[in-house]
Amino acid sequence: MTDHPILDSRYSWTRLAITLLIGVFANVGMWAVIVVMPAVQAEFGIDRAEASLPYVLTMIGFAIGNFAIGQAVDRWGVTRALIGAAVLSAVSYGLAAASGSVFMLSLVHFFLGFGTAVGFGPLIADVSLWFQRRRGIAVAIAASGNYLSGAIWPVLLSGVLSDHGWRAVFLVLAALTLVAVVPLALLLRPKVPQDALTAQENAAVARQAGAPMKPAPLMWVLGLAGIGCCVAMSMPQVHIVSFCVDLGFGPAVGAEMLSLMLLGGVVSRLVSGLVADKLGGVWTLLIGSILQCGALFLFLPFDGLVSLYLVSAAFGLAQGGIVPAYALVVREYMPAREAGTRVGFVMMATIMGMALGGWMSGWIYDVSGSYELAFVNGIAWNALNIAIMGLILIRARRGPGALAAA
């Protein structure tokens, strides 16, 4: 099959660069709540599980938004979706700053998470339509906007937090989202030509002979695997700041560790993208899951300042490529015209795993008085993900429907 000339073209790479920049600004909503969590807990006089509720509602909104906005992108295009979501996020930031209770703050964070979602799955799905041969690295770069946002903004926002409080953080983000995302969204108005979509559909049909199962069942199985890996992933990402506060290192050190973790995740995503172009999405996903499980074990024996910096970096380098690999598996075996919906569903499942894991880790901490059992819980969920992906690989050789019939 001959690739369409628009795929992997100079315009494709330009569009990818714009998408990455949008992702850096649009995704900040899911990281800001982690930075302000200790301050929110102190102001409202609540326990760790309650302080985790705004994050949980953020991730639930983020999960649903990935699916719903993905459908909107399939129907109306990415530009309209981005502008609408940016306005929703800005309004939500403003309401968060005015919240007088943790209940109100949590409710607002649902809508904030919904709007923030446009910067992840929907953008990844849109970019994937513009690439054929280099789709793996393109998806990895687009997904890196999420981690770059988490690496950059917590450090920058920690200064606003210390000087002006957590409410000022949300006001700054409200203005920043409108000023940055809306103009950039207008640059993504061109749509991929229909004949390019047809070329990608033909390639997907050819790959169906080696698919582990039909598209719909595969989507559900990938969703279950995504929940498992992201319950595990959420423990360090969501609670590293609070963990550092408990150890006496302070929130600024925790923000630095989170940034280091996410910078490592960016490197991991780029390397995984290159690997995926050679090995495919399923193998890339399994390798990343095994590495993440190994990195989680390192948090159990180490709690010193230097050792935690090193372990945080190792964790980031291990797990960054996992979530983009789910999108690659979807694009390898499912229709291109349904990319937004299918990718959005699987991304929704992974983010629900993050929400569940974020709350569960806080609850385990409140019950046990430490994070040790929370790390063990994450390792167990990670093992579930590894088992599912291993089963997919084993059954893939038997052709479509084999896993569903097993």
3-state secondary structure (DSSP) of residue 399: coil
Rg (CA), the chain: 20
Encoded amino acid at 186, one letter: L
All domains of the chain, ordered by start, with CATH?
A: 10-400 (1.20.1250.20)
Contact present, 324 and 124 (Cβ < 8 Å): yes
Q: How many residues does the chain have?
A: 406
Instruction: Please state, in angstroms and rounded to a whole number, the distance separating the CA atoms of residues 215 and 280.
Output: 16
Each of the 406 residues of the chain gets a pLDDT tens digit; together they read 456 777 778 888 999 999 999 999 999 887 788 778 778 788 787 776 677 788 778 888 888 898 889 888 888 888 999 999 999 999 999 998 888 888 888 889 999 999 999 888 889 888 888 887 888 888 889 988 888 887 788 778 877 877 788 888 889 999 999 999 999 999 998 887 776 666 666 665 555 555 666 777 788 888 899 999 899 888 888 788 778 888 888 777 887 888 788 788 888 888 888 888 888 788 888 999 999 999 888 888 877 888 889 888 899 888 888 888 888 888 777 766 676 777 778 888 888 888 788 888 888 888 888 788 888 998 999 999 999 888 888 876 655 444 433 3
SS (HEC) of 268-287: HHHHHHHHHHHHCHHHHHHH
pTM value is: 0.74
